[in-house]
């Protein structure tokens, strides 16, 4: 059921941009580069996708919002 939760292409791209920002932090923000020792693994993209879907499902929605992604990405 969780994998059937709709995720718009814009949300997918949002996840990819978040992940890429950890790998190439200096390209996004020189301050961000100071806070990151290394980027997340390629599997982090998949994990963030699935966790955001699960978060939306638990909230009773049939779609993923940016807030679902943020809730799962926040340390």
Distance of alpha carbon 37 from alpha carbon 8, whole angstroms: 31
Backbone angles phi and psi of 63, in degrees to 5:
-145, 155
Write down the mean pLDDT value for the chain.
92
CATH of the domain spanning 2-73, picked from 3.30.420.40, 1.10.8.80, 3.40.50.300, 1.10.10.10:
1.10.8.80
75: pLDDT strictly greater than 80 = no
| pLDDT tens-digit map of 25-56 | 888 888 888 888 888 898 999 999 999 999 99
62: pLDDT strictly greater than 90 = yes
Average pLDDT over residues 14-24: 91
Cβ contacts of 51-56, under 8 Å, gap ≥ 24: 52/7, 52/11, 52/15, 53/2, 53/3, 53/5, 53/7, 54/2, 54/5, 56/5
Percent of the chain clearing pLDDT 70 (strictly above):
99
Segments making up each domain of the chain, as ranges: 2-73
Range in 16-25, 45-54, 63-72 the model is least confident about: 16-25
């Amino acid at each position: 059921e969780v994998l059937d939760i709709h995720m718009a292409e814009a949300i997918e791209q949002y996840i990819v941009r978040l992940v890429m920002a950890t790998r190439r932090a200096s390209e996004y923000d020189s301050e961000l580069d100071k806070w990151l020792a290394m980027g997340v693994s390629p599997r982090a993209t998949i994990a963030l996708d699935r966790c955001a879907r699960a978060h939306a499902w638990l909230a009773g929605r049939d779609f993923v919002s940016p807030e679902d992604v943020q809730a799962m990405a926040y340390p």
